[in-house]
Amino acid sequence: MSELKRLRDLQGALDGCDELDALVAALAEFSSSAFGLSTSWLYLQRKPTDDAMQIVAVRGRHEEHVRKNLPEVAMAGDAMLIYLAQGKGPILLPTAEAIAANNEAVQRKMQNQALMAAPVIYVGAFRGVIGAGAFLDDATPPLGQDDVELYALVSAMVSAATARITEREFQDERARLVARMVEHERLETVRVLAAGMVHDLRNMLGVVTQSVEMLKLSPLDAGQLADLVPLTEAIDRAQGVCDELLGLGGAAELDVRAIPYRELEERVVRLVEPLLPDHVELVRAEPGFEAEVPVDAPRLVQVFVNLIVNARDALGERGGTIRFSCRTTDGDPSRILTPGPMVVITVQDDGEGMSPNVRDRVFEPFFSTKARGEGTGLGLATARSVVEQHGGWIECQSERGVGTSFSIYLPSQLAASA
């Protein structure tokens, strides 16, 4: 295939990309075909002033090797990266020895056999680096100046596509933040009103509770004592509603401690298993996953219990599967503020799913699809408030006929893998 045909095909693929991962997939296919380099990657700065770049996407034969061993690169002390940050390049390091001469520690860790790298430049400034390489047992392809000149054209095309995608993602994130600010103001108003209401309600509930306890001490027969049970249960439910109201807008303080994910999972499962009928199966994360998450465990446990109970209700009488899973991610570069490595805990069901209109409103306070008297409409609003207090966020995906998933992103403290 001619170089011109390859470039035209690459440009067509880049024009069709809406996500950076798809962009790198197109780059990897081109680099493998044109240069014989098995793996391609994209690193970007979170902010233009950063001295380090985070991996955004990597595709190819050794993508897990690259993702695991080099999730972040520091420019300080790396002659190649400093050169690229000046808008120069591409750079070709055709052998392991050439790579080691630039940065021996990285070459020893990554076991590069050859690489090419070029700057990603848009809005007139350096934003990151694209690269393609051979690793481990890959054959070292014969590369020369013609390949460098071709990669220069590729880097210009990739820079333009990256600018288009990141600008759209930036605008989308900005719109989300504006919407959240508006909603936060609404929640703050609700919180102030709720705090006053809860104060008065708890005073009244205290009087009722004291009266019930006094009745229990009086000479009542078994039937009369049984009549007090629904009243006690109603008081407990009312106290629970008070707690949910205080949870809106972050009114309740958190007691955050780092605990293993498996411990959090076990606490949730112990609570929900008695609530699940035989026709609903709860599938847990694969064994061997180890991570610590800094959380207020009781608050997060309640969040996940609520999500699983909601999933159970969504499955209805026909039943189905609820998946309670966990993974790690390097963060979301499309977000303006991303706290770095994250643990993502997902509750997914294979029920009927939600319409787009319902999905867009699920986090609104007092919004509920349940029948009157069966829900307060505070569960998901409170869940999002609690998650955001932890420095994370919650996402909902749902499709009619497919099911619904809620993914909670939390800052991660990673432990050694078991």
Question: Is it the case that residue 182 has pLDDT exceeding 80?
Answer: no
> Would you say 288 and 417 are in contact if contact means Cβ atoms under 8 Å apart?
yes
Cα separation values, 191 from 185, 236, 377, 389, Å: 10, 21, 15, 15
List, edge to edge, every strand of the sheet that includes 72-74: 72-74, 52-60, 39-44, 125-135, 112-122, 91-93
What's residue 413's pLDDT?
56
pLDDT at 360: 84
> CA 284, CA 267: separation in Å to the nearest integer?
13
Does residue 135 register a pLDDT over 90?
A: yes
Say which residue, 164 or 339, is predicted with more confidence: 164
- Predicted confidence band at 23 (pLDDT cuts at 50, 70, 90)? very high
Using the predicted structure, report yes or no on whether residue 77 has a pLDDT greater than 90.
no
pLDDT (tens digit, 9 = 90+) per residue, 202-211?
888 888 888 8
pLDDT digits (tens, 9 = 90+) for 93-110: 999 898 888 888 888 899
Identify which of 393, 391, 412, 394 has the alpha carbon closest to the alpha carbon of residue 404: 394
When the pLDDT of each residue in the chain is averaged and rounded to a whole number, the result is 83
Q: Which of 331, 330, 328, 333 is nearest to 20 (CA)?
A: 333
Q: What is the pLDDT of residue 323?
A: 93
Residue 221 has pLDDT above 70, yes or no: yes
Total residue count of the chain as it appears in this document: 418
Whole-prediction pTM value? 0.49
pLDDT band at 158 (very low <50, low <70, confident <90, very high): very high
CATH 3.50.30.30 fits 254-418, yes or no: no
pLDDT at 414: 42
**Which architecture does CATH list for 3-171?**
2-Layer Sandwich (3.30)
Cα(346)–Cα(338) distance, integer angstroms: 19
The candidate with the shortest Cα–Cα distance to 387, out of 400, 406, 374, is 406
Q: For position 359, what pLDDT does the model report?
A: 86
pLDDT of residue 122: 84
Percent with pLDDT over 70 in the chain: 85
pLDDT: which is higher, 291 or 8 = 8
- 24-74 pLDDT, tens digit per residue, is 999 999 999 999 999 999 999 877 777 889 999 999 999 999 988 998 888
Rounded CA-CA distance 234/300 in Å is: 24
pLDDT at residue 294, as a whole number: 84
Q: Which segments of 311-390 are extended strands (E)? A: 320-329, 342-349
* Integer Cα distance of 81 and 58 in angstroms: 18
pLDDT band, residue 336 (cuts 50/70/90): very low
* pLDDT band, residue 151 (cuts 50/70/90): very high
Domain ranges of the chain: 3-171, 254-418
Q: What is the pLDDT of residue 371?
A: 65
Contact 79, 99 (CB under 8 A): no
Cα angle for residues 348, 23, 134 (degrees, 5° grid): 105
List, in sequence order, every residue forming a beta bridge with 413; answer none if it has no partner. Answer: 292
- Indicate if the pLDDT at residue 118 is higher than 90: yes
**Segment 374-388, tens digit of pLDDT:** 666 677 888 888 888
Q: What integer is the mean pLDDT of 123-133?
A: 89
* Section 71-80 average pLDDT: 86
Residue 24 CA, distance from chain mean position:
20
Q: Is the pLDDT of residue 1 over 70?
A: no
pLDDT, tens digit (0-9, with 9 covering 90-100), for 273-332: 988 999 999 998 776 667 788 888 888 888 898 899 999 998 988 889 999 988 888 665
Q: What is the pLDDT of residues 248-283, one digit of tens each?
A: 555 556 788 888 888 888 889 988 998 899 999 999
How far are the Cα atoms of 18, 26, 171, 182, 183 from residue 176, in angstroms, in the given order?
18, 29, 9, 10, 10
